[in-house]
Amino acid sequence: VIRCRAAVAWAVGKPLSVEEVEVAPPKAGEVRVKIVATGICHTDEHLLNGGFPDVDFPVIPGHEGAGIVESVGEGVTSVKPGDKVIPLCLPQCGECTFCLNPESNYCLKSHLSKPQNLLPDKTSRFTCKGKQIHHFLWVSTFAEYTVVPEYAVAKIDAAAPLDKVCLLGCGFSTGYGAAINAAKVKPGSTCAVFGLGGVGLSVVMGCKASGASRIIAVDINSDKFVKAKELGATDCVNPHNFEKPIQEVLTEMTGHGVDYSFEVIGHADTMVAALASCNMNTGVCVMVGELASRSTISVDPMLLLSGRTWKGTLLGGWKMRNSLSKLVSSYLEKKVNLDLLITHTLPIAKVNEGFELLRAGKSIRSVLLF
């Protein structure tokens, strides 16, 4: 058992508290990872606000981390102590129907099929003050040491700087893959990205890498536009500056609407606006943001009858164990720039400050260091 620090969420709506926790050794098929760095993603904020009704508190959040394997349980062969790894909030078991399908990344062992607030054997490896603490998406990267199933960890290049590549565990991969894998943005096309957080800006990068000729960045916080332009946006639009609905503004700007639109906020009204912003026939709208579980959206069916495609993506469509080492290589070869997304680096003791920056719209990504 290792005693170490972790940021624990004791109850919905309460700040995190950095505590000493006990982390049990990995059981068969599990890996214990020393987390070196972890980003703060809006999904962690959803969790703190009670947006995951199936996850029990107390819980250790965090799902965008990178670290070093400390020890492995019986039967683990794909990683060994000392390997640099990224824990995966979308696993790849390699055996289920979707893992075997080359077109899919929705592993049936993902949290959407099975709540991952305990490890697969329905027990926790974390305790604090005598209480059992729950896992989050099997990764709980706000703990200095965490235990994950072997199929929820990807080995990466030993040269990778963990305080940067941690963003590949969620934000960057999700956004970049939404453009590359889900939308399959074509060269010369027109794109609109709704929401310019860490994930939305990664969509902007994916559109640019795909050769889009026009990338319209949409956000109600105009402070986000400088970075959006730096990463490839050609136009920036703040819906608050217009009387008419944003979908009409974008349709007028482009003639008949964009070729590809992306919703990267997680609101029902912007999901409908993004759908209506892509052209009525060949337009593709990709939903990246997540609404609270069990909520519904109402849309005019004519939006789809005329030919539009409306689709969603999880973690950008990447098969995570296969793809992460390649994405890390692209970063090391300077083909993708994660560094521009990191606006703040904080010690874990300042985790609540990191969430305040996110809520205030002052950060893109804050990276926490242990």
Q: Does 195 bind ligand COD (CB under 6 A)?
A: yes
Residue 124: HSE in the Cβ half-sphere, 13 Å Cα cutoff: 23
Determine which residue in the list 267, 282, 344, 356 makes contact with ligand COD, applying CB under 6 A: 267
Determine which residue in the list 34, 111, 125, 224 makes contact with ligand COD, applying CB under 6 A: 224
Q: Does 61 bind ligand COD (CB under 6 A)?
A: no
| Element at 33 (helix H, strand E) | strand 30-39
- Print the binding letters for residues 311-350 with ligand COD: x by CB under 6 A, - otherwise: ---xx-----------------------------------
Binding segment for ligand COD among 80-88, 147-155, 226-234, 263-271 (CB under 6 A)? 263-271
Give the 3-state secondary structure of residue 163.
helix
**Beta carbon nearer to Zn ion, 182 or 249:** 182
Q: How many whole angstroms separate alpha carbon 196 and alpha carbon 229?
A: 11
- Pairing mode, if any, of strands 30-39 and 365-369? antiparallel
307 C-beta neighbours (distance < 10 Å), count: 11
Q: Does 265 bind ligand COD (CB under 6 A)?
A: yes
**Beta carbon nearer to ligand COD, 196 or 276:** 196
**Beta carbon nearer to Zn ion, 64 or 219:** 64
**Beta carbon nearer to Zn ion, 2 or 108:** 108
* Closest-CA residue to 234 (of 198, 199, 204): 204
- The CA-based angle 320-324-326, given to 5 degrees, is 130
Q: Does 200 bind ligand COD (CB under 6 A)?
A: yes
Determine which residue in the list 232, 289, 317, 354 makes contact with ligand COD, applying CB under 6 A: 289
Q: Does 43 bind ligand COD (CB under 6 A)?
A: yes
**Of ligand COD, Zn ion, none, which one does residue 194 interact with (CB within 5 to 8 Å by kind)?**
ligand COD
Q: How many whole angstroms separate alpha carbon 263 and alpha carbon 200?
A: 8
**Of Zn ion, ligand COD, none, which one does residue 265 interact with (CB within 5 to 8 Å by kind)?**
ligand COD
What separation, in Å, do the N-terminal and C-terminal C-alpha atoms of the chain show?
18
Report residue 100 as tokens: 């075997």
φ, ψ for residue 222 (rounded to 5)?
-65, -15
Which residues partner with 37 through β-bridges? 66, 369
**Beta carbon nearer to ligand COD, 284 or 314:** 314
Q: Does 197 bind ligand COD (CB under 6 A)?
A: yes
Produce one character per residue of 161-191: b if its CB has 16 or more CB atoms within 10 Å, e if not: bbbbbbbbbbbbbbbbbbbbbbbebeeebbb
Contacting residues toward Zn ion, per CB under 5 A: 41, 43, 93, 96, 99, 107, 170
Binding site residues, ligand COD, CB under 6 A: 41-43, 89, 170-171, 174, 194-200, 218-221, 224, 239, 264-267, 270, 288-290, 314-315, 358, 361
